[in-house]
Amino acid sequence: MAYLVIKALLSGVIIAAVSEIAKRSPGFGALVASLPLVSILGMIWLWRDTADPQRMASHAEGTFWYVLPSLPMFLLIPVLLRRGVAFWPALALGCTLTIALYFAMTWIGPRFGLKL
């Protein structure tokens, strides 16, 4: 149980740090947010829990393929905000686009030999 709490606290600290950094410097906050810190922590926790190289390789590869459909959200949201769409609807539309692209990835990926 203590291990789970440590994982949750460390992960939460990273999210809080990104939001605090972004308040002071949006560009630097974006840089820190773009770092694959959550992915790295996830890999560390997975390795500690399983020490399974095949599982780790599959996880890292799957992470790569699932990052791709999330990227258009980071283009759509600023376009919508600059056109006067309020934040919450812009965020919801960005998330909806990402979810749709995730579904597309899980449908199309295996047709090209990706094991997701």
Predicted confidence (pLDDT) per residue in 43-57, tens digit: 999 999 999 999 999
Query: Confidence class of residue 15 from pLDDT cuts 50, 70 and 90?
Result: confident
pLDDT tens digits, residue range 23-48? 999 888 888 888 888 889 889 999 99
**Which three-class secondary structure string do you get for the chain?**
CHHHHHHHHHHHHHHHHHHHHHHHCHHHHHHHHHCCHHHHHHHHHHHHHHCCHHHHHHHHHHHHHHHHHHCCHHHHHHHHHHCCCCHHHHHHHHHHHHHHHHHHHHHHHHHHCCCC
pLDDT tens digits, residue range 46-98? 999 999 999 999 999 999 999 999 999 999 999 999 999 999 999 999 999 99
Domain boundaries, the chain: 53-116
Evaluate if residue 7 carries a pLDDT over 90: no
Q: What is the pLDDT of residue 3?
A: 83
